[in-house]
Amino acid sequence: MLLTLGFSPCPNDTFIFDALVNQKIDTQGLSFEVVLEDVQTLNQWAIEGKLDVSKISYGVLPLVLNQYKVLNSGGALGNGVGPLLITKDPSMGLKDIDKLSIAIPGKNTTAHLLFSLAYPNAINKSFHVFHEIEDLVLSGTVDAGVIIHENRFTYQQKGLHKLIDLGHYWEEQTGLPIPLGGIVAHNRLIDTVAIQVDELIRKSVEYAFAHYPHITSYVKMHSQEMSEEVMKQHIDLYVNNFSLELGSKGKTAVHKLLEVSENITQKITDNKHPVFLH
């Protein structure tokens, strides 16, 4: 059986899915047509119901609950893993943020949701692919930007300064880990297949952990501009026990994010399906 599968080329995703898509584990009769795209593209495709299985930002989950269920494995949750708001002007203070122009890595991303939680009155926002944010700030096109992924490890080298860790703000407000991205399966898949995929992703993560800190050629080929040290920092930050299994704490965090999203957008989600795959 052939399924479409989308995830990002970032080291945490390629690390997680390497063993699955390259058949380093027994895929039990399933094969995958893999598409690697930036998270905002994957979010949009999830709204359109394009892929059978996909990585998404938890920020877009309220918009796709009628089509997808969240799998237990393969996601990115944790403590100290949230997006950062950065600027090139070290004199800029938090009191100025509502007046600033802010670059955000995608409208339907968790990063946008966390920024909106912290700064609901900041409305001068523009949306971009995540790897464009640093250059927009450096060029003065925007006053500040929200960075994610590997940019967390490189922004200081470019002379940029952190205004606030939005993940830390979330943790202070909720006491929960930060739900960044999850894996979802389309409702057109019967439950037995979705469960099978979920179990295979877990085995893929287990395989990756068993062979770590070795960085495979699959991870390297999609991270050509990163040093191996940055790849490992990326994996260490975003892949953890929640990537193996959301568990009750992870699910509570996702539900809390849905609640926050509803409060911010003032939209009530008409969801007739369970959020999580049982």
Q: At what angle do helices 228-238 and 11-21 cross, to 10 degrees?
A: 80
Q: What single letter denotes the amino acid at residue 227?
A: S
202: tokens are 């877990």
Output DSSP code: residue 214.
P
Catalytic residue among 112, 128, 149, 234: 149
- Could you confirm whether 149 is annotated as catalytic? yes
CA distances from 59 to 9, 38, 76, 110, 276 (A): 19, 15, 13, 4, 15
Dihedral angle computed from the Cα positions of residues 89, 94, 96 and 99, in that order, rounded to the nearest 10 degrees: 100
Helix (H) or strand (E) holding 31: strand 31-36
Spatial CA neighbour of 233 closest among 157, 134, 127? 157
Spatial CA neighbour of 193 closest among 19, 55, 27, 62? 27
Task: With beta carbons less than 8 A apart as the criterion, state whether 3 and 32 touch.
Answer: yes
Residues 6+ apart with CB under 8 A from 141: 103
Task: With beta carbons less than 8 A apart as the criterion, state whether 205 and 244 touch.
Answer: yes
Residues 6+ apart with CB under 8 A from 123: none
Looking at the annotation, which residues are catalytic?
149
